[in-house]
A and B are shown apart, each in its own frame.
Chain A
């Protein structure tokens, strides 16, 4: 098989890709004439916590959606645990952006979490007490057990985000993909979410999150993937999350306050 070198000339070993919970090659996605994601390769290491980082409009969410089959890529291959996505759906959990749904939808918190059990319960299978108990324990893990019977529209933004995370926990997956899980949430929620994600990692699960807050990358993640339509850099935080790679990804778009923040972080 012809081996294509990636942007920085490094070719991930075949073994690394086979082992990887999520390996992407040559992914190109376009909504109009200009590609949103162009010829991107990515290999997520097993058991890692990987942040997908890049400026607004860099294709972070698009890439996640293409990986999950929510948007159709123009080209490229996605392998999940070394197999095509369709065979591995049961091993993936997804947390979409909070703003992507209508929170006035007539349903309760517990019902949203139970949606995470769809693959298990099936089209016509009966929801049993055990299922509801599991959904409740997932809510408990994100500190939302007391809200199980509330209508979802009555929650704050942070609480809604935690409910989405609880639904992903109910999926009991090996690979967790999250789209901006910390966007617009309160400090307590951010703490609760990162605690859950770290406990997932300690259970050997793999976590990939689109992330926008450069200041917290080092505290929260061990791997980064920098993207600005094309792949900029990828690797352990210490190697790939540097002033040079950030400059390349963000170009002149980093505000001076962000640069100050970053130099403090990177120092």
Chain B
């Protein structure tokens, strides 16, 4: 592929997609083991009232206020979910269901009760994101990666997603040991003096931050898929958490890169004219990887499953 075309048009969306996929897959590993993986779905709903509230407060349709509003709503939602789960002693799925439906409904009401003619809520954009539009027109080739003038005009999503990924990775590395122990055996973790409630809250908060950043850059389909598919596929490749994390990063990367390439060129190879949505293809690839590992992964039998099943 020629650098002159690849660097401005394909490199930024590929990198953004990959960073977003990994940033969601990393906490997804723990959420999956804690039976909280649907939190990505919950977050994609609860950001609506946050976005509307941010618009009402600032009167602007611009990225930062909306992202902060979404972030605030997502963090509020995960804290409420954790609180309800602990106080009500109910399973996480039920707590999520209660919170994300009521917050989403609140967002719809808020939107209806206010003058919405000025707000154009683009459903298409929210679902599929706009990965293909994240291009870098100032780049002329590989050399632009070293050119400060060109680098200034990188799509803002790229550094934002890269920073998010670094924050998520550092967080997990920093609390790896207590996070692992409290995910496996919460009661035992507490007797060691590990603040398990705080760790659970921190994990869902970091997941919310990753989800909102990725949501803005690549749409909610990728967020929901990446929280679940790469970690679930990784679980079938290994019986060790450390390696599961590694596999989930590999699968997230393959999904993002392969999905982007297939979306852009796949239809052309098949003789069609137009490309398909990259976000949709990335999510599809991650689902296919999950399917393949479920059929052929070395560690796919659960000990809880009946013999011979």
Check A108 for interface membership: any CB of B closer than 8 A: yes
Cα separation A92 to B304 with both chains bound (whole Å): 31
Give the interface SS of chain A, mostly helix, strand, loop or mixed: mixed
Evaluate contact between A68 and B191: CB separation under 8 angstroms: yes
Evaluate contact between A151 and B181: CB separation under 8 angstroms: no
Evaluate contact between B177 and A123: CB separation under 8 angstroms: yes
Evaluate contact between B184 and A118: CB separation under 8 angstroms: no
A-B contact pairs, 15 of them (CB 8 A): A68-B187, A69-B190, A92-B191, A100-B187, A102-B33, A102-B184, A103-B304, A105-B33, A105-B183, A105-B241, A106-B235, A106-B238, A106-B240, A107-B241, A151-B299
Partner of A65, one of B187, B193, B194: B187
Check A153 for interface membership: any CB of B closer than 8 A: yes
Check A54 for interface membership: any CB of B closer than 8 A: no
By a CB distance below 8 angstroms, the chain A residues around B89 are: 31
Check B178 for interface membership: any CB of A closer than 8 A: yes
By a CB distance below 8 angstroms, the chain B residues around A112 are: 184
Contacts A92-B191, A94-B191, A118-B178; is A100 near B185 (CB within 8 Å)? Answer: yes
B132-191 CB contacts (< 8 Å) to partner A: 174-175, 177-178, 180-181, 183-185, 187-188, 190-191
Give the interface SS of chain B, mostly helix, strand, loop or mixed: helix
Partner of A103, one of B188, B194, B303: B303
Partner of B302, one of A104, A111, A123: A104
By a CB distance below 8 angstroms, the chain B residues around A101 are: 184-185
Evaluate contact between A106 and B185: CB separation under 8 angstroms: no
A163 CB, nearest partner CB in chain B, Å: 11
Number of interface residues of A (CB under 8 A): 31
Check B253 for interface membership: any CB of A closer than 8 A: no
Other A-B contacts than A124-B174, A153-B303, A167-B188, 8 sampled, CB-CB below 8 A, are: A69-B191, A100-B185, A102-B33, A107-B180, A111-B240, A112-B184, A118-B178, A118-B194
Evaluate contact between A70 and B187: CB separation under 8 angstroms: yes
Check B101 for interface membership: any CB of A closer than 8 A: no
Cα separation A111 to B180 with both chains bound (whole Å): 10
Evaluate contact between A104 and B303: CB separation under 8 angstroms: yes
A252 CB, nearest partner CB in chain B, Å: 31
By a CB distance below 8 angstroms, the chain A residues around B83 are: none
Evaluate contact between A106 and B188: CB separation under 8 angstroms: no
Evaluate contact between B192 and A123: CB separation under 8 angstroms: no
Check A115 for interface membership: any CB of B closer than 8 A: yes
By a CB distance below 8 angstroms, the chain B residues around A68 are: 187, 190-191
By a CB distance below 8 angstroms, the chain B residues around A69 are: 190-191
